[in-house]
Structure 1
Amino acid sequence: MRRRHRDWYEALALDAEAEWISPRQLDWIARLKREQPNLREALEFSADDDPTAGLRTAAALFLFLGSQGLYNEERRWLSELLARQSGPPTVEWAKGIHCATVMANIQGDFQTCTALVEEGRARTTQTGDSMMRALIDDADGMLALYSGEPERAYPYLETALAEFNERGERTLETSALYFLGVAYGLSGLIEESIKCHERVLAITGRYGERSYRSRSLWALGIAVWQQGDVDRAVRLLEESLKLTRQVHIPRVAATCLEVLAWIACEQHDPPRAAILMGAAEELARSVGSSAVVFSDLSIYHKECDQRVRRRIGDIAFEAAHHKGEGFGFDAAIAYALHEHRPSTSEPDTDASTRLTKRERQVAALIAEGLTNQAIADRLVISPRTAQGHVEHILAKLGFTSRTQVAAWVVEQTHD
């Protein structure tokens, strides 16, 4: 009975994988979410009864679990089932290595990635199976890409893409095109990058796919932003977020929010940039990743962080960043799309009209991180007077800390 159960859910997972790039993608995601307890039971049974069948199931679920940010779960299954494989290498085994490498890369575990790729290389060197070699090439290319070597990555990805395309492996072809486009972009080959992502958009548009489409929209947004077309970049990133919300991909949402933060900083809106950075960081943290997974892009994050802090001060930055952290998936996307502005620090929207001009000046200085003594020096008033202003501001706004005042100032400035 348990084998029949296992076989049925293996077939279900394989069917979902086969139809991943299709109009049924959202239906499959909803179905697999409902079936997760049964799928886990089937995998548990396979680990002891038939690890090869279990590995096929786990690899087939890679797209679903990855889209939902369930990286730790997928890595656990793959690690356990790969360790139980014996005999000569097979395509199923190479696919397991490939999937495990992607998951570890996203979480920045390059030590594990390197070990997996080295094992894959060692065991497929003498094989005549071009598909196994292509899967390991793809894994090696992604390791190079995530670890900051895009120039080393794209030759491997080109080789893998050619094999996937020749075999008609639509999902692997689409994935390789996306990563190849990213590798080209990070290598400065912007035109080649754009062509890859436009091919992904053509494929996903033809078949009604959303997950890979959202990824290439994000990457294409960065490429056109680097070319100076900010308006188009924002449109692409917002389109990606709308798709991401449908599929519920925290990882892609985080990357879109991060790039929109860089653009907000560039457009002289530091409070919005800080809020978006906070939202991106928390979404990425929720799936065990970081807001910037490709190290070559980290320079933009650092520059944005530094510029925003210089503009609004550390306390106001931390307050805005903390506000973004509290949004959650849906609210963060809504904020990025200008659908509404969740507030965490303004109990009285009319409070600003009740602050005097001097109190508003003091509130702005609090947001800059100044102490009462520093405020007194800046405004040429006594420390006691400065303290009185601070106390009045806290009372009028209904706050208990200077950090809340800083967050309120950020919101008022943003409005």
Structure 2
Amino acid sequence: TAAALFLFWGSQGLYNEGRRWLDRLRACQSGPPTLEWVKALYCASMMADAQADLQAGTALVEEARTLTAQTSDLMMRAVVECADGMLALHSGDLGRARSHFETALAAFSGRGERTLETGVLYSLGLVYGLSGLTDQAIEFLERVLAITQRYGEKMYGSYSLWALGIAVWRQGDTDRAVRLLEQSLELSRQVHGPRVAIACLGALAWIACERRDPARAAVLMGAADGLARSVGSAAVIHSNLVSYQQNCEQKARQVLGGKAFASAHRKGEQLGFDAAIAYALHEHPPSPSTSDADASTRLTKRERQVAGLIAEGLTNQAIADRLVISPRTAQGHVEHILTKLGFTSRTQVAAWVAEQTRDQN
């Protein structure tokens, strides 16, 4: 069940939840390896990689290799190759990542493992693109898009549109890159996938900077950073792309000045998932409820009190105990706060409370 839930956890950015369950299961596992157990280790390692916890990712890959050292099961070995490839990809070792993914793809092809095969095709397309092998990247990513469109799949579709956008942008086709990134954002909104939305917002910020629109770039970078914090990740998780983020921020700061950049970046941070995508798609200007002067007045007195407790790091049960209310009532308050402020996580609520406190001081 945990292995099957990975695609949901990953698409929603629920890395902490997924890793917590898989860590608990690891402590209970015994006996000879099974394919599902190896898949679970693969999933746990990928979530660790996405949160830049490469030490944990490495330990999980090593555990999987040890577990399958004596097996002749080709599928188990191929899954471990995938895990090793993802670790190499997030570590910036594109050559090693490519080798592992190509080995895994050969094992998955023709065996009915469509989900695993699609995931490896996407990973290879991304690796080729990051390596500057644009033609190969386009070939593999378009194969993924054909599969996802045929079966109505949206998660790998949104990821592949982002990777394809990055590849063609680096090739110099900026207009097509923007179209692809916007299509990716449309899909990520449909499945509420923050991780790929973060990646698209970052890429569109780089393009805005390139097009000499530093204010828009700052808002987009802020939106990406805010959403990334909400899922316990970084805005850019591939080391081969970090330089674009750094260059964009440096140029935007130089043109706008530190104070104006910080203001625009803060507007982006406060947008929330839906508003950030709407802004990126030019559906409305950056005027999130969280930055309006009357944002806090939309919360009741009790909701403002609960928001303060969220900022202290309290769970729903702890909030219920503190306020002498039922856990269900506490949960209802939390849900109303998230809805009214346009947020998707408790982390965003905590950041909002901190911002309100700074403004009042």
Question: TM tier, shorter chain?
Answer: 0.7 to 0.9
Aligned with 2:171 (options 221, 224, 227):
227
Greater displacement, 192-201 / 159-168: 159-168
Tell me how far apart the structure 2 counterparts of residues 252 and 104 of structure 1 sit (CA, whole Å).
Answer: 16
Q: Which residue of 2 aligns with 1:303?
A: 247
Q: Which residue of 1 aligns with 2:8?
A: 64
Q: 1:152 to 1:341 in 2, by over 3 A?
A: same
Q: Which residue of 1 aligns with 2:309?
A: none
Paired residue secondary structure (1:61): helix
Q: Which residue of 2 aligns with 1:214?
A: 158
Letter in 1 for 2:150: R
Q: Which residue of 1 aligns with 2:76?
A: 132
Q: Deviations over 1:31-86 (max 9, x none)?
A: xxxxxxxxxxxxxxxxxxxxxxxxxx111111112111111111111111122111
Tell me how far apart the structure 2 counterparts of residues 117 and 61 of structure 1 sit (CA, whole Å).
Answer: 19
Check conservation: 2:130, 2:167, Cα contact below 8 A.
Answer: no
Paired residue secondary structure (1:167): coil
- Pairwise CA distance, 1:218: 0.3
Tell me how far apart the structure 1 counterparts of residues 23 and 54 of structure 2 sit (CA, whole Å).
Answer: 15
Q: Which runs of structure 2 are paired with 1:290-329 in the superposition (5 Å)?
A: 290-329=234-273
Q: Which runs of structure 2 are paired with 1:3-402 in the superposition (5 Å)?
A: 57-343=1-287
Alpha-carbon RMSD across the aligned residues, in angstroms, is: 1.5
Number of matched pairs: 293
Check conservation: 2:215, 2:264, Cα contact below 8 A.
Answer: yes
Paired residue secondary structure (2:109): helix
Percent of pairs with identical residues: 66
Tell me how far apart the structure 2 counterparts of residues 189 and 130 of structure 1 sit (CA, whole Å).
Answer: 29
Q: Deviations over 1:372-408 (max 9, x none)?
A: xxxxxxxxxxxxxxxxxxxxxxxxxxxxxxx99xxxx
Tell me how far apart the structure 2 counterparts of residues 64 and 141 of structure 1 sit (CA, whole Å).
Answer: 21
Paired residue secondary structure (1:166): coil
Greater displacement, 81-90 / 309-318: 81-90
Tell me how far apart the structure 2 counterparts of residues 202 and 245 of structure 1 sit (CA, whole Å).
Answer: 20
Check conservation: 2:209, 2:248, Cα contact below 8 A.
Answer: yes
Letter in 2 for 1:268: R
- Pairwise CA distance, 1:346: 8.4
Tell me how far apart the structure 1 counterparts of residues 69 and 133 of structure 2 sit (CA, whole Å).
Answer: 31
Paired residue secondary structure (1:89): coil
Superposition TM-score, scaled by structure 1 size: 0.69
**Structure 2 unaligned residues grouped into runs of 5+:** 294-357
- Stretches (4+) displaced over 2 A: 342-347
Q: Deviations over 1:247-294 (max 9, x none)?
A: 000111010000000000000000000000000011111000111000
Paired residue secondary structure (1:340): coil
- Pairwise CA distance, 1:148: 1.0
Check conservation: 2:268, 2:286, Cα contact below 8 A.
Answer: no
Q: Which residue of 2 aligns with 1:371?
A: none
Check conservation: 2:125, 2:141, Cα contact below 8 A.
Answer: yes
Superposition TM-score, scaled by structure 2 size: 0.79
Tell me how far apart the structure 2 counterparts of residues 198 and 285 of structure 1 sit (CA, whole Å).
Answer: 31
Q: Deviations over 1:325-367 (max 9, x none)?
A: 01000000000000001326788xxxxxxxxxxxxxxxxxxxx
Letter in 2 for 1:316: A
Letter in 2 for 1:235: R
Tell me how far apart the structure 2 counterparts of residues 83 and 157 of structure 1 sit (CA, whole Å).
Answer: 29
Q: Which residue of 1 aligns with 2:316?
A: none
Tell me how far apart the structure 1 counterparts of residues 286 and 233 of structure 2 sit (CA, whole Å).
Answer: 25
Q: Deviations over 1:292-346 (max 9, x none)?
A: 0001100000100111111111111111000000100000000000000132678
Paired residue secondary structure (1:343): coil
- Pairwise CA distance, 1:125: 2.1
Tell me how far apart the structure 1 counterparts of residues 94 and 101 of structure 2 sit (CA, whole Å).
Answer: 10
Tell me how far apart the structure 1 counterparts of residues 181 and 130 of structure 2 sit (CA, whole Å).
Answer: 18
Greater displacement, 191-200 / 117-126: 117-126
